[in-house]
Amino acid sequence: MSREQLAVARTRRAFQTGRSKPLEYRIHQLKKLQQLFTERQKEISEALKKDLNKSEVGTELYETLGLEGEISLAIRKLKEWAAPRPVEKNLLTLSDTVYIQPEPLGVVLIIGAWNYPWAVTIQPLIGAIAAGNAAVIKPSEVCVHTAKVMEDLLPLYIDKELYTVVTGGVTETQELLRQRFDHIFYTGNCMVGKVIMEAAAKHLTPVTLELGGKSPCYIDKNCDISIACRRIAWGKYTNCGQTCIAPDYILCEPSIQDQVIQEVNKSIKEFYTDDPKTCSDYGRIINQRHFKRIMAMLDDSTVAVGGDNDESDCYIAPTVLRDVKPEAKVMQEEIFGPLLPILSVSDLDEAIKFINNGEKPLALYVFSSDNKVIKRMTDETSSGGLLANDCLVHFSVSTLPFGGVGNSGMGCYHGKFSFDQLSHLRGCLVKQLKMEGVNSMRYPPHTLKKLGWARFFLLKHVDLGWMGRMALLAVFAVVAAVVLQSYLL
């Protein structure tokens, strides 16, 4: 048996003990996870400094603060989320108890990415624990130091048999994928997303795929370009552009291109000084493979701002590219680095057409003071999420589902959505062994008269509120008795 097989078998055995299910146990585990973040901030940020040159404050702001918020939300709301959810009934089920009961799925495989390694690995884990599952957690091997810290710290705080960390690269992940899980939650690129889905199909395992892609950013000339560019520069250059929802490229009319360049440049200096290389808030590319990939995109485009780089330090300056053509290398795949291409469009119509010609993006950004522009962009395009006049912040709103559509992924999470995503929403109906007369209409011999009653009971729409329902229930009982005596027997 391989190490991965053993880990999955052990996790499943732990799930089968049933101990992940009681709400008190789930809350206890969530509290332990919270404790990890209050006690181990130093180790977490030291590793992220080595992996991505994230600053200590940046780590808390972009990685762990959101997790602490999600954990306390889950602790506060768990009873409500896990409770039976009564649903509307039809006339035939009026006297029954009809409800949705969320139940754990079983063992969830969580495969994390490297760019926000804590956020994208632990956030699904919070959902998995809250929903009463066991989990196998596979941090990305690309963020070497963080993967090690995760492997060392998680077992010290949470139940290490129920929530198992397995480290390793492609070989180990593929061995994990040969095992049977009850759900696979993957964050990473689209190509590997397809590998995950194929492996999951062999066991009919459902998947959540949190993928990436090119997220467009349209700037309408009718807006405060200075504020728009500051927000875009923040969204783009945070974590050195290695953010799944970073604005990938700008679409604007040629008349405002120079002003956009000037304003983005101003914000770069404001955030990262005249020398971003020495600024503690400016990150690094994760490794030389990605450094080379990003630098190759510069080949056929014109640099308007930045462009400096240092391979030995995986440094690429915040960069703006002007007059970029749709055929340019930088437009052929997700950039995932600090290059911001500007493409010209003649108007909003052309921008919408351009966006709709590409794959459905994970995020879509529109900057305008005109609500009609925002409305048209919302109505005439599709994307995982849409933000008007800001970047990234929708990620932090736990009442919004976070996820992609089409090529940018499937399924969603955050807050209650994580709980629902990793639960089975079981439809339950509890009937009494009474009022058998009403059922006569479904039993053979089938007659047109019975069909007529079935049509009435099944298709009649009732929405009467509590009082109305009680009154109707009384009428229903009488009708049932009449039907029973006069027509059906």
The residue ranges that bind ligand NAD (CB under 6 A) are 111-115, 120, 138, 140-142, 169-170, 173-174, 187-189, 192, 195, 210-212, 244, 334, 336, 362, 404, 409
User: Rounded to an integer, what distance in angstroms lies between the CA atom of residue 362 and that of residue 341?
Assistant: 18
**In the complex with ligand NAD, which residue's Cβ is closer, 50 or 469?**
50
Examine the residue annotation and report whether 210 is marked as an active-site residue of this protein.
yes
**In the complex with ligand NAD, which residue's Cβ is closer, 64 or 257?**
64
Smallest distance from ligand NAD to CB 124, Å:
10
**In the complex with ligand NAD, which residue's Cβ is closer, 35 or 287?**
287
Q: Which of 143, 223, 244, 252 is catalytic?
A: 244
Smallest distance from ligand NAD to CB 187, Å:
5
User: Rounded to an integer, what distance in angstroms lies between the CA atom of residue 153 and that of residue 33?
Assistant: 10
Examine the residue annotation and report whether 244 is marked as an active-site residue of this protein.
yes
Q: Which of 4, 63, 70, 210 is catalytic?
A: 210
**In the complex with ligand NAD, which residue's Cβ is closer, 222 or 332?**
332
**In the complex with ligand NAD, which residue's Cβ is closer, 195 or 435?**
195
Smallest distance from ligand NAD to CB 285, Å:
12
Smallest distance from ligand NAD to CB 383, Å:
12
**In the complex with ligand NAD, which residue's Cβ is closer, 115 or 267?**
115
Smallest distance from ligand NAD to CB 241, Å:
11
Smallest distance from ligand NAD to CB 238, Å:
13
Residues 6 or more apart from 341 whose CB is under 8 A from it? 249, 250, 301, 321, 324, 328, 330, 331, 335
Catalytic positions, written as ranges:
210, 244
